[in-house]
Amino acid sequence: MSKFTIDDLIKEAAEAHKEGDYIKEKNSYQELYDLYKHKLGENHPDTLIVLGNLANSYSCLEDYNKALELNITLYNARKEILGEKHPDTLIALHNLASSYSDLRDYNKACKLQNVVYNAFKEILGENHPNTLSSLNNLANSYSDLGDYTKALEMKNAVYNGRKEILGEKHPDTLRSLANLAKFYSCLGYYNKALEMRSAVYNARKEILGEKHPNTLAALHNLACSYSDLGDYSKACELENIVYNAYKEIQGEKHPNTLAALHNLACSYSDLGDYSKACELENIVYNAYKEIQGEKHPNTLAALLLNRKLNT
């Protein structure tokens, strides 16, 4: 097994993921998986790690059935080799739950996330980072099922646990605060969500800088809060900043840039400037069509919005 070939494939897959070229990433991981499986065996730890990466690539491509198939294989292998309650087995079970969620089988996903959370709580304790992460995932499952009260209760527990253990400005604490803000927004508490999102954005800007992707994601969320409150001019101003920053950092056709341009188009639509919104969404549509093909969900979503704007 050529180390040069392996190192090349690993580097190629990582670069493709960074660029948002998930087809190239998937192809690299598939070749790497085939190499490892042939030389090391299908249950070797390195082979299973690559299998997990391959499943994630299919998920990024929204081929959720294939991702589910691979995640089932990975979970069963981990369970057989390491046992049901080994951390790697539990992580594989979480990924399997995510596949069911992607396929909208929210009851199955919630059942599995409950198993993961209870196992981590038993083994590591309530306030261990892995337990808190699994509680956050369980909250997402309850949210998918429409039980927002239960989800909000859990999200608050995760945030308070992380704040106590890690401090207010730790990345995991800020991520929890952002998730909590999202739930308050979903429940119609827009001012509360705005307050929380402002705190997240200011902390990330201070720690990571204005143009870090996490800071830009926080700024987009802040724009959403202004939009929820009917301040469409402020929302559009912020979405412009996000889009221009992504374009500068990651290029015009990166998925993050195209998503930001789509959000900007929606902001112009909210302001009643349908001509500008249509112009921007047309750019998004043509870029997605070129990169991901005519039938990809992102391409179809852009086409649908374009048609709505033109009517």
| Stretch 106-113: mean pLDDT | 98
Are the C-beta atoms of residues 150 and 116 closer than 8 Å to each other? no
pTM across the whole model: 0.74
Percent pLDDT > 70 in the chain is 98
pLDDT value, residue 18 = 81
pLDDT value, residue 148 = 87
Q: Is residue 70's pLDDT more than 70? A: yes
| Stretch 119-127: mean pLDDT | 95
Percent pLDDT > 90 in the chain is 80
Are the C-beta atoms of residues 166 and 136 closer than 8 Å to each other? no
At which residue do the structure tokens 């396929």 appear? 103
The span from the CA of 14 to the CA of 29, in Å, is 10
Q: Is residue 169's pLDDT more than 90? A: yes
Supply the mean pLDDT for the chain. 93
**Which residues fall within 8 angstroms of residue 188, CB to CB, at 6 or more apart?**
none
Provide the residue type at 198 as one letter. S
* Cβ count within 10 A of residue 119: 20
Are the C-beta atoms of residues 131 and 120 closer than 8 Å to each other? yes
| Stretch 277-306: mean pLDDT | 85
The span from the CA of 184 to the CA of 188, in Å, is 6
Q: Comparing C-alpha atoms, which of 184, 187, 186 is closest to residue 200?
A: 184
Architecture (CATH level 2) of domain 242-311: Alpha Horseshoe (1.25)
pLDDT value, residue 3 = 54
Q: Kindly report which listed range (5-19, 33-47, 143-157, 196-210) carries the lowest average pLDDT score.
A: 5-19
Between 163 and 17, where is the model more confident? 163
Q: Is residue 111's pLDDT more than 90? A: yes
Displacement of CA 251 from its chain's centroid (Å): 20
pLDDT value, residue 311 = 67
Q: What's the token pair of residue 57?
A: 């690539």
Neighbour-count burial of 206, counting CB atoms closer than 10 A to its CB (0-12 exposed, 13-18 middle, 19+ buried): exposed
pLDDT value, residue 5 = 82
Are the C-beta atoms of residues 252 and 221 closer than 8 Å to each other? no
Q: What's the token pair of residue 202?
A: 């200011």
pLDDT value, residue 230 = 97
* Cβ count within 10 A of residue 262: 23
User: Where are the domains positioned within the chain?
Assistant: 172-230, 242-311
Neighbour-count burial of 311, counting CB atoms closer than 10 A to its CB (0-12 exposed, 13-18 middle, 19+ buried): exposed
